[in-house]
Amino acid sequence: MAAATCRLVTLDVTGTCIKVNGSVGSHYVRHVYRHTGVKLDEKTVEKEFRLQFKEMDRDYPNFGCYSASMNCKMWWDTVVEKTLRGSGYVDNTNNMVNICHSLYTDFSTKQCWSIYDDLWPFIKRIKNSSKTVKLGAISNFDERLETILEGLGLREFFDFVLVSYNERTHKPHPRLFYKALDISKASELEAWHIGNDYVRDYQAATSAGLNAVLLLREGEVKEGPNNVARTLETALDFLNIP
């Protein structure tokens, strides 16, 4: 049986379309030095950041949007403070507020982000193939995502962007995928989602009834996903684009 003609493609964003320039730790180190003259070890900061991010995501998922006492700016300020203190930084001059503010602002701009090289030919193929195919983004991200995409020159290529923080639900919950179907008027069989996280992208999309491709740029292919691609361009091979 031939695959249904594709009418909707949704992409995860971080790790699929864009990535942080360098490491998060390098940006934290740079901002601390700029505000205080203190030099921290980048590897130590990066390791501590990953730990604190994981703990905050566990305690206050989706950047704190489900908590009445927290917003995403407060969420990130907490991550920054815990990361720096855990990396040995001692704030004796009340510079922490300025560091948190400048990091939050900086990560809202294109300065901290870069686009994967394979995204441009992917977008070109989708946009040149047929006007009947909608391209959307579904991302577990905070309120800054659309601003970041605009700064990178990407927002105009997406017919819609669904941000977990704004929608008050996050992958792997199926609600974001259902909303994408509703916006595009595509059926589950006509829809494909591509992302780099097996649970939050591949499993989540297929559980919602969509087709999916796991984007695995590096590492070994584990048992589970039927559709695995090394690049966004090769992911197109699974889609029946008119």
Residue 135 is predicted with a pLDDT of: 97
Rounded Cα–Cα distance for residues 31 and 198 (Å): 33
Cα dihedral 164, 167, 171, 176 sign: negative
Map out the domains of the chain as residue ranges.
8-17+116-238, 21-112
- Say which residues have a Cβ less than 8 Å from residue 69's Cβ, sequence separation at least 6: none
Q: What is the mean pLDDT of residues 77-99?
A: 93
Structure tokens at 229: 């691609």
What's the CATH number of domain 21-112, 2.40.110.10, 1.10.150.720, 3.40.50.410, 1.10.1200.10?
Answer: 1.10.150.720
Nearest to 224 by CA among 242, 236, 206, 209: 206
| pLDDT surpasses 90 at 98 | yes
Helix H or strand E segment including 49: helix 42-59
| pLDDT surpasses 90 at 218 | no
Cα radius of gyration (the chain): 19
Core vs surface per residue 45-70: b (16+ CB within 10 A) or e: bbebbeebeeebbeebebbbbeeeeb
- Say which residues have a Cβ less than 8 Å from residue 211's Cβ, sequence separation at least 6: 3, 188, 189, 191, 192, 193, 205, 227, 238, 239
Q: What are phi and psi of 192, to 5 degrees?
A: -130, 140
Q: What is the pTM of this model?
A: 0.94
Q: Which residue bears the tokens 């927290």?
A: 70
| pLDDT surpasses 60 at 157 | yes
Rounded Cα–Cα distance for residues 92 and 229 (Å): 49
Which pLDDT band holds residue 1 (cuts at 50, 70, 90)?
A: very low
Helix H or strand E segment including 151: helix 145-151
Mean pLDDT of the chain: 94
- pLDDT, tens digit, 9 for 90 and up, residues 124-146: 999 888 778 999 999 999 999 99
- pLDDT, tens digit, 9 for 90 and up, residues 183-193: 999 999 999 99
- In terms of CATH architecture, what is 8-17+116-238? 3-Layer(aba) Sandwich (3.40)
Structure tokens at 189: 């069989």
Which pLDDT band holds residue 223 (cuts at 50, 70, 90)?
A: low
| pLDDT surpasses 50 at 150 | yes
- pLDDT, tens digit, 9 for 90 and up, residues 6-30: 999 999 999 999 999 999 999 999 9
Q: What is the mean pLDDT of residues 161-186?
A: 98
Q: What is the mean pLDDT of residues 79-92?
A: 94
